[in-house]
Amino acid sequence: MATGILFSGQGAQTVGMGRSLYDNSEIAKALYDEANEVLGWDLKTICFEGPEETLTETRVCQPALYVQGYVLFSILKERGLLSDLKAACGLSLGELTALAAAGVYDFATGLRLVAERGRLMQLACDATKGGMAAVIGGAPEDVQTFCDEFDIEIANLNCPGQIVISGDNAKVLEAVAASKGRFKLCKPLNVAGAYHSRLMESARDSFAEFIKDFDFKAPELVCYTNVTGQQISDPQAIKDALVSQVVSSVRFEDNLRNMAADNGISEFFECGPGKVLTGFAKRIDKSLVVTPMSEFDEIPA
């Protein structure tokens, strides 16, 4: 039976993530040790021990989630559980992990890309006053109209009834205050900035310059981009999509629906903490079976 693999995005991180993988798997140990060498700082200790404030920083949590996701993928592969793997996608940052799993670039190259992406987005957050809010119970077209009224943007189309909006923090809070009676719920999110909005344009532009000389290969799996929700395979198109994704809406619902339909997939592995994507999948299509895993004892034998 065809299977798919999903990779977590920013916000799923938690102190202690990956410790059991490192302690129980030689592959995990090698990859975490390599990550420290590539980065030139101690990602491993921050993941395993915190502090939470440091792990939550954009420049740290993006590499943390990338490494853990790739480690889980590598252990699944070692155990022979991915013989029917057909397709991969991820949520925002997780898209870069999916591309590494698909062989578009190797682990170390992906980590360099992720680290710079996270650093640039951190700088953009520090230079702007952005915010985000979750809108529950709204149709995409109604939320778009709502965003247009307050000069903000849709950041994530996660699943039916759950959309995230993003922009200048004062405008987001104004929108939240005006949302009563229009949606089931609209609540501010505890985030460092306005991800996937025009407030990230400085990060997008600098990342475009950074990424241009990297060598991308055609993916060995069917891959999907958050920017359109559709398949993507041309190396230059993948590079362009990663740049656009920094300021574009994340179309995860479209990603998952198309991934399942295009490839006849009904079973997925979610690699990363929090089981967030498993929750989205249940709301997107109850027939999909997703096995979430974050630590060693959650990996199927």
- Among candidate residues 8, 25, 74, 92, the one labeled active-site is 92
Question: Cα–Cα–Cα angle for 246, 248, 250, nearest 5°?
Answer: 95
Whole-number pLDDT of residue 190: 87
Examine the residue annotation and report whether 92 is marked as an active-site residue of this protein. yes
Whole-number pLDDT of residue 221: 98
Distance CA 152, CA 112 (A): 31
Regarding pTM above 0.85, the answer is yes
Per-position pLDDT tens, the chain of length 301? 899 999 999 989 999 999 999 999 999 999 999 999 999 999 999 999 999 999 999 999 999 999 999 999 999 999 999 999 999 999 999 999 999 999 999 999 999 999 999 999 999 999 999 999 999 999 999 999 999 999 999 999 999 999 999 999 999 999 999 999 999 999 999 898 999 999 999 999 999 999 999 999 999 999 999 999 999 999 999 999 999 999 999 999 999 999 999 999 999 999 999 999 999 999 999 999 999 999 999 999 8
- Among candidate residues 25, 179, 196, 197, the one labeled active-site is 196
Q: What domains, with CATH codes, occur in the chain?
A: 3-126+198-298 (3.40.366.10), 129-188 (3.30.70.250)
